[in-house]
Amino acid sequence: MPRTFDPDLRRALAERVRYYHELGIYDFYRREPRLPDSMETASAAAEVGSASLSSTSSRASQSELREEMAARKSAVVPTIAEDNIFEIVTPKPEHGVADPAAALKVIREDLGDCTRCKLYKGRTKIVFGVGNPSAELMFVGEGPGADEDAQGEPFVGRAGQLLNNMILAMGLQREDVYIANVVKCRPPGNRTPEPDECETCSPFLMRQIAAIKPKVVVALGATAARNLLAMNSSLGDLRGRWYDFKPAGAPGNDSAWPGARLAVTYHPAYLLRDPRQKGEAWKDLQMVMKYLGIEPPKKAVD
């Protein structure tokens, strides 16, 4: 049974979170509790002992030993209460803003001249996002490239031109959708964003999605898909199916928006390198169009 917070500890935590909110920090991460050194030593010794059991030892004895060690760990490390102290205090500033354009502006102001991770050191401009704040369809890429870094807008280079063509083939305009990235500063040499960079920046993306409330989110490429879905599967395994998606940190009492459907397809930059996969990407977009009730223009059909 989970513990409840002591009232004094609860008040102290609430004051500390309010203090961080005043500094503009709204996203918190909980690390798994670390066992005391003595307990870790005992656990390691038990595992070594279990591994060195003779072949004549019964499987039941090994199972009993593991269960005993698990019970001892549980006794040393109490479970943290499930009621989240961070959700009790002041919500994110945009939660009280009904207009999505205004909510996005609040999030952008909260992001500020961001120096939260090392990517800021090499950037020219922050690439926040662009498009219709009330879009039914949102595309999420990996991170800005050189052209995006220079202009401060996502997908404006060669990959962006291909994405524009993909959107046009669906019977939409770029202005009809919303486009953003997992990270908002260009990684050096256009490398893949590192896990700590994604973890630092993705909460702002989640807040953008919650503000826009799209019907469908399309993850462009493996990095976007893995970060949005918190899954480490290959792109091939992730494509071709729907996922129910609601961003972390979205208000839980928003009955008007139960969440989005999420689909995965190839990143346009990959399609430039391997045009043979364009047909597969079109299949993914057709799945999205069918769900949204979009009829492709006759030229795209031909």
> Looking at the structure, do residues 151 and 170 belong to the same domain, yes or no?
yes
Asked if the model's pLDDT at residue 214 lies above 80, the reply is yes
What's the average model confidence in pLDDT over 129-137?
98
Residue with tokens 């989005």: 260
Structural domain total, the chain: 3
In a domain, 258, yes or no: yes
Asked if the model's pLDDT at residue 202 lies above 60, the reply is yes
Buried b (16+ CB within 10 A) or exposed e, 239-263: beeebebbbebbeeeeeeeebbbbb
Quick one: tokens of 19? 């203090």
> Looking at the structure, do residues 224 and 297 belong to the same domain, yes or no?
yes
Q: Which residues pair with 140 in a beta bridge?
A: 180, 219
Q: What pLDDT does 296 receive?
A: 82
Asked if the model's pLDDT at residue 207 lies above 70, the reply is yes
Residue span of the structural domain in which 62 resides: 37-76
In a domain, 125, yes or no: yes
State the Cα–Cα distance between residues 20 and 16, nearest whole angstrom: 6
Q: What pLDDT does 206 receive?
A: 97
> Looking at the structure, do residues 17 and 160 belong to the same domain, yes or no?
no
For 91-128, what is each residue's pLDDT tens digit?
Answer: 789 988 999 999 999 999 999 999 999 999 999 999 99
Asked if the model's pLDDT at residue 239 lies above 90, the reply is yes
In a domain, 179, yes or no: yes
In a domain, 1, yes or no: no
Task: Provide the pLDDT confidence category of residue 220 given band limits of 50, 70 and 90.
Answer: very high
User: Within 13 Å, how many C-alpha atoms sit on residue 150's CB side?
Assistant: 5
The residue out of 76, 106, 135 marking a domain boundary is: 76
User: Within 13 Å, how many C-alpha atoms sit on residue 200's CB side?
Assistant: 16
Asked if the model's pLDDT at residue 226 lies above 90, the reply is yes
Instruction: Read off the CATH number of the domain in which 220 is found.
Output: 3.40.470.10
In a domain, 120, yes or no: yes
Q: What pLDDT does 91 receive?
A: 75
Task: Provide the pLDDT confidence category of residue 75 given band limits of 50, 70 and 90.
Answer: very low
In a domain, 2, yes or no: no
Q: What pLDDT does 24 receive?
A: 53
> Looking at the structure, do residues 52 and 124 belong to the same domain, yes or no?
no
For 13-68, what is each residue's pLDDT tens digit?
Answer: 766 765 565 555 555 544 444 444 545 444 454 444 444 444 444 454 455 545 54
In a domain, 295, yes or no: yes
For residues 101 and 254, the model is more confident at: 101
Q: What pLDDT does 19 receive?
A: 58
What's the average model confidence in pLDDT over 75-99?
57
For 165-199, what is each residue's pLDDT tens digit?
Answer: 999 999 999 999 999 999 999 999 999 999 999 99
In a domain, 265, yes or no: yes
For 282-299, what is each residue's pLDDT tens digit?
Answer: 999 999 999 999 998 876
> Looking at the structure, do residues 84 and 68 belong to the same domain, yes or no?
no
> Looking at the structure, do residues 67 and 198 belong to the same domain, yes or no?
no
Q: What pLDDT does 250 receive?
A: 82
**What mean pLDDT value characterizes the chain?**
81
Asked if the model's pLDDT at residue 146 lies above 70, the reply is yes
> Looking at the structure, do residues 196 and 293 belong to the same domain, yes or no?
yes
Q: What pLDDT does 244 receive?
A: 97
Q: What pLDDT does 46 receive?
A: 47
For residues 250 and 12, the model is more confident at: 250
> Looking at the structure, do residues 154 and 62 belong to the same domain, yes or no?
no
> Looking at the structure, do residues 50 and 16 belong to the same domain, yes or no?
no
The residue out of 45, 76, 107 marking a domain boundary is: 76
Q: Name residues whose C-beta falls within 8 Å of residue 130's C-beta, 6 or more positions apart in sequence.
A: 153, 154, 178, 179, 180
> Looking at the structure, do residues 101 and 217 belong to the same domain, yes or no?
yes
> Looking at the structure, do residues 26 and 46 belong to the same domain, yes or no?
no
> Looking at the structure, do residues 142 and 262 belong to the same domain, yes or no?
yes
